Structure 1
Amino acid sequence: MKQIENSTILVTGGAGFIGSNLCEYLLQYNNKVVCLDNFATGRTVNIQHLLSHPNFTLIVGDIRNLSDCHKAATGADYILHQAALGSVPRSINDPITTNDVNVSGFLNMLVAARDAKIKKMVYAASSSTYGDSESLPKVEDVIGKPLSPYAITKYVNELYATIFQRTYGLNTIGLRYFNVFGRKQDPNGAYAAVIPKFVMQLMDHQSPVINGDGNYSRDFTYIDNVIQMNVLAMAAENPEAMNTVYNTAYGDRTTLNDLIASLKKYLSDFDPKIATIETIYGPNRVGDIPHSLASIDKAKNLLGYQPQFSMQQGLKEAVAWYWENLK
């Protein structure tokens, strides 16, 4: 895989789950990495070990503030824009803040990227953009109507990126993330992602709660596959591969019932009692789609994407990391 080396890269949301993994990876290749984060959802612990690195710079700032965006983008070759307020339920509870961060903040970053003459801005898009489209697998050019304020904000990002390319010549690539999981993903808080939340509950001998009957399925995507996609998107030079969006996934789906079974299996290697914990079933969650499965053909054909970790391989790695760091 072609690496990006000896470049200056701004990672917005660089103290978050995905952002901090990207920062860590990019520093291995003699890049200068600038992290912009306001720590609304990012965590100091994710980047603590990077703070003394000579090529790492932390800027505490907010993408809703244009001057912070300009400061962070100045001198950068590339931007990996990960900063956002994630979570469908959070957007339903607080659509205004979600819009401010995900739309106004995104627009600020586009302006800063344009003004700094960035080579390319790669940004976190979302599988939520597929909305009520029932076709499987999800193909990039077939989407439905959004089912949440969060989904709307992520679709607007794609529209803005297209306009900035046409109007200002700013090259962008959007990565529609599908249920990313792995090391450093925060298990705490009301809007914690499902895998770290279930892991923590099982480690504490609590019954995990599934929304619905457990037959909803997701294309769970391990963090290392996401890192690969970000690097490939930055390195892409073929004009046909740029200024578009790509599914960022493994290309397989797992039901929530199967997910719980796998988690219990891997965790019971550390604590046999976990195998006997019962699962609780609750009502379906507003804004949730029943099934999610990505076609990754476009990413394979245009970017050379070859995901290295299946869901099960990633789950094993993630469970070991959680046991070691959070138990």
Structure 2
Amino acid sequence: MKVVVTGGAGFIGANTCRLLAEHNIEAVALDDLSSGFRSNLEGIGATLVEGSILDDTALDEVLPGADAVIHLAARPSVPRSIADPWSAHEVNATGTVKVLEAVRRHDVGQVVVASSSSVYGANPTLPKQEDLTLRPVSPYAASKLATETYTLAWGSSYGIKTLAFRFFNVFGPLQPAGHAYAAVVPAFVDAALAGRPLPVNGDGSQSRDFTFVDSVASVLTRAVTDRTHSPLPVNLAFGTRTTLLELIGELETILGHPLEREHREPRAGDVPHSQADQTRFRSLFPDVEPTPLPEALARTVAWFRSTGAGAAT
């Protein structure tokens, strides 16, 4: 079996390629290395092809013979999309159409794509059930809604087996920190290990359904090996709800000392609370068990330490 992973040198992509290779699946990563790294794929048995999903030639190089595509390539980050909305649209919306058309050209039977819980936006209902009215509040959220909508429309129109997952705050090893658009878990862990105050946007009461990357990679692998598909979008999270202050408390327990916080203004485009309804997910993957947050966070801290972060501590 051959699976092409767009964005395969990135955080989620490389973890997924590793697991695919462990299942003796030929994993081919297509990545322009704009946010991914060659080192993420070293020694895991996956093939890296450097190229962009916006380049038809690159897509035509990797897709022949593929049984499935896991489409993870994206321009991430809500704040980044607010600063540069056109690039978010070009990569996340136009890029998805290019992938889907390449899938058609090469008669690939299945496409699994990454959408985002950000599509729920300003809708305050919890937990987030997939049939809720969607109210995106950032260009990133709008572009990820385009990602899932185009994918499901291509599935309906052209007979492709499609599966559009809405990811919720995925974290874990290989997730980069140390830049303006870093996600909250790597930003907190990086700061904690370096002895800096943790940057908290707002009062810290915001809640998220944090999802460990190994759990996500496991579901993505199961989806392609079992040929799972759905005409409707599916939340990929496990119904937990953790505030940022509770997350800091977990970190303090792991590290064994209190952590200083630096409260900042809330970020534009952020939503206050997010939690997945699992009903549709469980109908497709009834036996998947997530890694508990304390264990997942401890493994993430261990990975950061292994990379040399936290020399100050």
What TM-score comes out, normalization by structure 2 length?
0.95
Q: Aligned to 1:112, which of 102, 112, 135?
A: 102
Task: Find runs of 4+ consecutive structure 1 residues off by over 6 angstroms.
Answer: none
Q: Aligned to 2:171, which of 172, 176, 181?
A: 181
Query: Residue 276 in 1 paired to residue 258 in 2?
Result: yes
Q: Aligned to 2:251, which of 242, 245, 263?
A: 263
Q: Provide Cα deviations, 1:138-157, integer angstroms capped at 9, x if missing partner.
A: 01111321100000001111
Q: Residue 326 of structure 1: CA displacement?
A: 3.0
Query: Residue 246 in 1 paired to residue 234 in 2?
Result: yes
Aligned length: 309
Q: Provide Cα deviations, 1:193-238, integer angstroms capped at 9, x if missing partner.
A: 1111111111111001101110010000001210122123224457
Q: Residue 305 of structure 1: CA displacement?
A: 4.7
Secondary structure at 1:49's aligned position in 2?
Answer: coil
Correspondence for 2:288: 306
Correspondence for 2:212: 222
Q: Aligned to 1:21, which of 3, 12, 15?
A: 15
Q: Residue 166 of structure 1: CA displacement?
A: 2.1
Q: Aligned to 1:161, which of 137, 151, 170?
A: 151
Contact kept, 8 Å, 2:170 with 2:210, in 1: the verdict is yes
Alignment of 1:56-71 (within 5 A): 56-71=46-61
Contact kept, 8 Å, 1:173 with 1:242, in 2: the verdict is yes
Contact kept, 8 Å, 1:69 with 1:109, in 2: the verdict is yes
Q: Residue 306 of structure 1: CA displacement?
A: 2.1
Counterpart CA distance in 1 for 2:227 and 2:284 is 10
Correspondence for 1:81: 71
Contact kept, 8 Å, 1:228 with 1:305, in 2: the verdict is no
Identity %: 38
The amino acid of 1:289's aligned partner reads: V
Correspondence for 1:41: 35
Correspondence for 1:192: 182
Q: Provide Cα deviations, 1:35-77, integer angstroms capped at 9, x if missing partner.
A: 1000000012211223xx4xx3211000111221122111110
What TM-score comes out, normalization by structure 1 length?
0.91
**Pair 131,305 (structure 1): closer, same or farther in 2 beyond 3 Å:** farther
Q: Which moved more, 1:65-74 or 1:302-311?
A: 302-311
Counterpart CA distance in 1 for 2:308 and 2:63 is 34
Contact kept, 8 Å, 1:11 with 1:23, in 2: the verdict is yes
**Pair 10,183 (structure 1): closer, same or farther in 2 beyond 3 Å:** same
Q: Aligned to 2:267, which of 285, 292, 309?
A: 285
Contact kept, 8 Å, 1:236 with 1:242, in 2: the verdict is no
Q: Residue 293 of structure 1: CA displacement?
A: 0.4
Q: Aligned to 1:97, which of 72, 87, 103?
A: 87
Contact kept, 8 Å, 1:225 with 1:250, in 2: the verdict is no
Contact kept, 8 Å, 1:299 with 1:305, in 2: the verdict is no
Query: Residue 320 in 1 paired to residue 302 in 2?
Result: yes
Q: Residue 288 of structure 1: CA displacement?
A: 0.6
Contact kept, 8 Å, 1:129 with 1:143, in 2: the verdict is no
Contact kept, 8 Å, 1:250 with 1:311, in 2: the verdict is no
Q: Residue 126 of structure 1: CA displacement?
A: 0.5
Counterpart CA distance in 1 for 2:303 and 2:209 is 21
Counterpart CA distance in 1 for 2:275 and 2:187 is 22
Structure 2 residue ranges without an equivalent (≥5): none
The amino acid of 2:112's aligned partner reads: V
Q: CA RMSD in A?
A: 1.4
Secondary structure at 2:27's aligned position in 1?
Answer: strand
Q: Residue 324 of structure 1: CA displacement?
A: 2.1
Correspondence for 2:3: 9
Counterpart CA distance in 1 for 2:114 and 2:28 is 17
Counterpart CA distance in 2 for 1:73 and 1:290 is 40
Secondary structure at 2:163's aligned position in 1?
Answer: strand
Q: Residue 32 of structure 1: CA displacement?
A: 1.0
Secondary structure at 2:307's aligned position in 1?
Answer: helix
Contact kept, 8 Å, 1:124 with 1:177, in 2: the verdict is yes
Q: Aligned to 1:211, which of 195, 201, 210?
A: 201
